[in-house]
Structure 1
Amino acid sequence: MEGFIQEMLQLYLIAMVGFAVRKTKILNEETNYVLTQLILYITLPALILFSLNITFSIDLLKDFLWLVLMSAYILLLSIFLAIWMRKRSQLSKDKKSVYEGLIIFGNQGYIGYAVIFSIFGEQGIVYLTMFNIVYFILIWTYGIYLFTRDTVAIEWKKIFLNPGVLSTTIGLIFFLLPISLPVMLANTLESVGKMTIPLSMILIGSLVANVTYKDIPFLLKNKYLWKSAIAKLLFIPLLLLPFAAFSIPFSLFAVAFLVAGMPSAPTMSLYAQKFGGDTLFASLGVLVSSLLCAFSIPLLYFILHLLY
């Protein structure tokens, strides 16, 4: 626990740097877009490719199947929970889709990699990459469907050609085949990929810095922002506890458990802007969960500590 808290404090300090440089206008209003593009298209694919440049084994294949099963299970339950919470809400139509998305989709691609790498190192990144396969496909299909309610709006080509799915597919091919990347290329991917962790936390800090004083009353009064955050950060990961009854290695279950409790995905703000959802509601939902995760992630790890 002591080591975990130290690692988390380091991540939060990096996030504070992002907050400071955004508030002092060292970085401008385009910061979040630039950082998102840099992580999504360059550093994260490099990290995924490097992490999957490992020797194939039957044990790893079993781990892969467990992670895909847990991912599909938790996302399916999250969808049912989000539908139930949306129907019970009294939100307008442009907020209801956002509300569902905030509950279902977590920030697994940015802060998820930062947290898992800090705790489990490169082995954790391998597990998280496998765990994220179902997530990447779902956020590009069902995530868009939430806002459009129309499968025609889903750009199927982008599902398989987006950087997350593409780099994971290429990485899995290298993993399954008896070949490995050249040492120089692997070292380059490692250097570039590990930038994902600090850049992700700077992005989180910058997102938090975007809130203005006029937004605070709405943020504090809107109960649905807090409900979505509590569901995403605490209730959903607890739904994975039945898997603790199986003989799953600690690191394997811990990756799934912690990542299931990541804050809401910033992608929901982008979808809201593109497909006519309430952008402010989406941005504040991401903000609330991103702030609260500083308390919820240590709590989830403490629960893991008690279980194992």
Structure 2
Amino acid sequence: MLESYLNILVVFGLVFTGYWLSHHQMFDEKTIGLFSKLVLTVALPFNMFLNMTEKFNREEFLSLFQGMLLPAVSIIVTFIVSIIYAKITRVPMNRRGVFQTMFTASNTIFMGLPINLAIFGEVSVPYVLLYYICNTTFFWTMGIYLISSDSQDPTIEKVKMTPIGVFKLLMSPAMLGFIIGLIWMLLELPEFAVLTKYATHLSGLTTPLSMFVIGMILYQTGIKNLRMTKDTMGILLGRYVISPLIVILLSYIIKVPDMMLKVFIIQAAMPAQNSMPIIAEQYKADVEFTTTTQAYTFIVYLFVIPLLIFLVN
């Protein structure tokens, strides 16, 4: 459990660094845009590629492939619940896309992988990545579509769920890195040391820059303006109660090994995707709400971890 808390402290440390540097006028609004573009077009694609090529092998992936059914179905069901919840609680239309995406998609690698390692050890890694594949596919297709639909800026091109629109989503830098990594792993293409080292350096920028952006936006928003709203409460309920509960209930229908189920429960109850504020900034969605809620998902997770450990054990 101590390792899990230390991982959360790393998150807060990086966010605070972004906030502190903004306070000292080293970062400004232009820096937010610059870092966002760096993450989305350079760092994140290499991060996606390495996640597939370094943490999976073809034989292991194919042997576990059927295990993807439970996380895939649970994410779809959670998304449907988010739509119903948003309508019942009257989430404003200009933030419904962000709300439904944060309600459904979790932070499966930066938070999920180290915390599962701390609880279960190396045996959990393949199952972590199965959930990651389903979660990533949802986030970078339907999630991006939903977030773009919140945009109130007429100059921003919204994503359309047409064949051309879906193709553009699949050809986005992040999704392209994921797809190339998946194909590379399945074809068992050889590893090139120079390419791997280059990709590793760029991939390493993903987390610190993403957390810096959250810290910068928090500074621009003002800590005093962070308020707990009913919509933020709804996302916390979705992340930490509804999402893992759906996995548990579906496990009675879709049978999986005990360890796989435990990992899926932990993965389903992670904070929201750390790329959310960056994507909201890119599409000019409700950045203030997104950043505030992202911060709360990190804070509340400190109290959720012990309950999760007790639940899975």
User: TM-score normalised to the size of structure 1?
Assistant: 0.76
Q: CA deviation at 1:161?
A: 0.6
Pairs within 5 Å for 1:75-90: 75-90=75-90
Secondary structure of 2:27's counterpart equals coil
2:31 is matched with which residue? 31
Aligned-pair identity in percent equals 20
Query: Any gaps of 5 or more consecutive residues in structure 2?
Result: 151-158
Pairs within 5 Å for 1:104-115: 104-106=104-106, 108=107, 112-115=108-111
**Is 1:257–2:294 an aligned residue pair?**
no
Name the CA shift for 1:154/1:260 in 2 (closer, same or farther; >3 Å): farther
Query: Any gaps of 5 or more consecutive residues in structure 1?
Result: none
Q: CA deviation at 1:125?
A: 7.5
**Is 1:229–2:236 an aligned residue pair?**
yes
Distance 1:209 1:198 in 2: 16
Q: Deviations over 1:125-144 (max 9, x none)?
A: 77655534444443454332
1:159 is matched with which residue? 169
* 2:48 and 2:177 in contact (8 A); partners too: yes
Q: Deviations over 1:247-283 (max 9, x none)?
A: 5374x556543443333445478559848x6554444
Distance 1:269 1:186 in 2: 26
Q: CA deviation at 1:162?
A: 1.2
Name the CA shift for 1:280/1:203 in 2 (closer, same or farther; >3 Å): closer
What value does the CA root-mean-square deviation take over the aligned residues?
Answer: 3.7
Moved more, 94-103 or 11-20: 94-103
Distance 1:196 1:269 in 2: 11
Pairs within 5 Å for 1:1-308: 1-54=1-54, 56-66=57-67, 68-106=68-106, 108=107, 112-119=108-115, 120=117, 130-143=130-143, 144=145, 147=149, 151=161, 155-212=165-222, 215-216=225-226, 219-220=227-228, 222-242=229-249, 248=257, 250=259, 253=261, 256-265=264-273, 267=276, 270=279, 274=283, 280-297=288-305, 299-304=307-312, 306=313
Name the CA shift for 1:84/1:243 in 2 (closer, same or farther; >3 Å): closer
Moved more, 186-195 or 293-302: 293-302
Distance 2:204 2:239 in 1: 27
Q: CA deviation at 1:301?
A: 4.3
Kindly provide the amino acid, as one letter, of the partner of residue 223 in structure 1.
K
Name the CA shift for 1:73/1:268 in 2 (closer, same or farther; >3 Å): farther
Q: CA deviation at 1:43?
A: 2.1
Kindly provide the amino acid, as one letter, of the partner of residue 63 in structure 2.
K
User: TM-score normalised to the size of structure 2?
Assistant: 0.75
Name the CA shift for 1:298/1:204 in 2 (closer, same or farther; >3 Å): farther
| Equivalences, count | 295
Q: Deviations over 1:85-116 (max 9, x none)?
A: 1232134433444433332234x3xxx43224
